[in-house]
Each structure stands twice: as structure tokens, then as C-alpha cells.
Amino acid sequence: MRYFAGAEIRSRALPHPGGNRDMIRAAVGFSRDPSSTRAAVDAAAQAVLSLEGPRPDWAIGFVSPEHGPHLDALLEALSSKLETPYVAGCSASGLIAPGEEFEEGPFVGVLAAASDQLRATPFLFHDEGDQGLTAGLRLGQRFAASRESDDLLVVCPDPFHVRPDRLLQSLAATLGGVPVVGGAASGNGAKASTFQFCGTEAGRSAVAGFRLGGSFRHVIGVTHGCKPLGGPLRVTRSHENLILELEGRPAGNLLRELAPAKLLADTALVLRYLAVGMLPDGDPHPIESGHFVVRNIVAYDPDTGVVAISDRVEEGQHLFFVARESGAARADLARMLRELSPERTGLRYRFGIYFNCLARGRTLYGDDGIDSATLAEALPGIPILGFFGNAEIGPLDGVNQLFTYTGLLLLVAE
């Protein structure tokens, strides 16, 4: 395994299976037709036509909530037109396709792949009332043979019932260091409801996805939508998720010194635009490499100087404050794509899947289509499908992590 700042490269040296479809081929199709069945047929037809010959072996799909009432018919049409039952995916509030980006529906997007050297096994596991712990255990047990292998797990959980952190906890216990990438499903924002599907089976409160195995290579890159405010600070006093002191001083005092005054004037703005970047233990990378995870500030008391975040904080660890900012997001996306460029990695990419935080897009940039246009310019001709989700999942220093406010890009090569 090679490591670039912010991107993990895993190489395989497996025997080539041969056959008449030894090349990894993939294509993207999408439709904005309000009819669920027509949208499914149109999206699938585009993908099949672009494959130029081979029948798809499997496909991943992202579907807007508007199609939820007719999901059974949509999935039947999708599998029939693709001529494969191996279709998995989830609901999405927005879609990212080559050169296109939609932050509202209706839409259906699919990425179809055909290859004898890349095998995909779809799955769907339902929550059993413990917020994803048992679903994660059953998923890990199903693919126990992947442990100590070079397999890759792509997951799309329902964040309201299958908590991504609990899912990762169970997968770590059963699969060890098998890399997991993905994004938490999203809906229309009006209610906490999403759906997941595998083949023609669909449900809510579940996790869907694929295990990818065989002979291929992949890279995973993470881009942040936040600007660091100063350098790392050592936690000198904390309690659970409360940051009491940094470098021996009240955490809130340092936040007031580093953050823009206009954001500190209103607690609501603090919670919306400010967050904390957390560094892995013993992290040798500079902050500019993007080698960190971001956690929300969930409470801030300017009188006591206490800052509460959405994760546990340990004394002795290092963190820093960040602000969500469009210019920094654009620059960091460019950084990630430079590091993942074929010239830098030496890889010939065949397709990509992009998991993008729903707090990005026009909410962050003040404009439409920034991420999709930047991806298309940096990786021309590579079929990439993505969606706007509630959280992102990927490895950092060999440990699968939950990310927020990020774009996470999986690129697959031969």
C-alpha cells in the first residue's frame, strides 16, 4: 500500500482471470423523468449503450425521494433493462454525474460495470433496533472471507437508524482492516427517512452496498469544505465530548481569538459554520494535507469557555478549529484531484463513485455544479457517479472513519 496525503492507494497482484471481458468497463446513465419506470429505463439504457457491447454485471444506483412511492416498479424496470439483478443503492437528495449536478429531484442515476476481473457482491441488511450494531455484525460475518484480503466494501447506510459510527464499530470487529467507503443515504430534508435497495428488494432502516473483489486497484481521496483556523492545539482538559481546556487555557477563549468575530456574535452561526478538526494519534501530516476528520460543535458557552463537539475528546490529543468556507473548499478539492491525478498515481482509472456531503453544493459555494464541473475537468472521460449524503465513510491511516463536510472520491483502476 502506498499513501499520498489525503489519499490511500491499495495495489493488488492477483492472478488475471482471463475471459473475454478482462477489461474493467463502466458507464453512467441518468434521467430526470418524473415517471419512475421511464426514468429507470432511460438511465439504464444510457449506461448499457455507453458500455458498447458487454452486458453489465452489476450497477450502483442513486434515486431521489420522489420515486420512493413507486420504488418497486422502478427497481424491476432497472434490473430488467440492465439485465442483471445485481443492483444496489439508496435514496439521495442530490445527484452528481459527469458534468451534471442536481440538488433536487426527480432523478435516477446508475453506474453500470462489466468485467471478469472485478467481482461485485451486493447486499442489504436491516437494522434490528440497535442502531446498526447487529446489521454491521451480520454484514461482517457475511463477508468474513474478505478479512486479510484486498477486498473493498462500499456501503450506503440509513443514518437515522443504522448509525455510521456503530456500523464501522461492528465491521472493525468482524473484518478488521478491510477498507470501507461510502456515504449515508439522504432524503428530501422534510423528515428523517431514507431508503436502501438491493436487486428488487427495498427497505428503510437498512444498509445496502457491494463487496468489490478480484484483480483491480483503487484510490480513495478526501476533500474538506473547511478552512483551518490556526494550528493544532493540545487538549489539556476534557470530559467525554466537552473540550474544557486547550494548551492550558479555556477552549472558548482560544475559539474567540481564532474565529471571525461575525460568526461569534451569534451562537447559531457558531454551530452552523464553525467546527473542530481532529488529527489521528501521532499524525505526521500537516493540516494542509487534509489528513483529519471534522466534528460539529454542538454547544458553545462563551461564559465558561466550554466547547462541546459531536465526538468524544481525549486529553493529550490534538485538534484545531475550522470554519466552513467556499474558497477553502475549492482549493482543497483541487489539492485532492492533483494528488489523485493519473500522472501522479500512474493508474488508469476506469470509473469513480463520489460521496458528497449535502452541506456542500450551492449551500457552500453559492453556485451550482462546482464539484461535478471540477471532477469532469480533472478526470475527463472517466465515468463518475455520486450523490449528496448525510455523512461520508472512508479509511484514514488504515482505520475506517466517519467524515463530515467532505467529498470522498473512490476511483477504480485496472
**Last residue of a domain, which of 324, 349, 379?**
324
- As a whole number of Å, the end-to-end CA separation of the chain is 15
Residue 283 pLDDT > 80, yes or no? Answer: no
**Last residue of a domain, which of 324, 345, 373?**
324
pLDDT per residue over 28-49, tens digit each? 999 999 999 999 999 999 999 9
Residue 7 pLDDT > 80, yes or no? Answer: no
Domain match, 96 and 165 both: yes
CATH of the domain at 252: 2.40.30
* pLDDT the model gives residue 96: 97
pLDDT per residue over 232-270, tens digit each? 999 999 999 999 999 999 999 999 999 999 999 888 999
Domain match, 195 and 300 both: no
* pLDDT the model gives residue 312: 94
Q: How many other CB atoms are found less than 10 A from the CB of residue 395? A: 19
Domain match, 282 and 215 both: no
Domain match, 283 and 145 both: no
Domain match, 28 and 49 both: yes
Q: In what order do the strands lie in the sheet with 152-157?
A: 118-126, 206-214, 152-157, 180-183, 392-396, 399-403
pTM: 0.92
Contacts for 292-299: CB closer than 8 Å, 24+ residues apart = 292/224, 293/396, 293/401, 293/402, 293/403, 293/404, 294/224, 294/226, 294/322, 294/403, 294/404, 294/405, 294/406, 295/404, 296/271, 296/404, 297/270, 297/271, 298/241, 298/271, 299/271
Which residue segment(s) compose the domain that 176 sits in? 2-222+332-413
Domain match, 306 and 217 both: no
Look at the chain and report how many structural domains it folds into: 2
pLDDT per residue over 136-167, tens digit each? 999 999 999 998 888 999 999 999 999 999 99
* pLDDT the model gives residue 192: 75
pLDDT per residue over 290-344, tens digit each? 889 999 999 999 889 999 999 999 999 999 999 999 999 999 999 999 999 999 9
Domain match, 165 and 192 both: yes
Domain match, 59 and 27 both: yes
Domain match, 312 and 358 both: no
Domain match, 306 and 345 both: no
Domain match, 25 and 163 both: yes
**Last residue of a domain, which of 324, 358, 375?**
324
d(CA 8, CA 152): 12
Q: Name 99's Cβ contacts closer than 8 Å, sequence gap at least 6.
A: 372, 373, 376
Domain match, 167 and 205 both: yes
Mean per-residue pLDDT, 55-82: 97
CA distances from 254 to 240, 257, 328 (A): 20, 5, 21
* pLDDT the model gives residue 14: 30
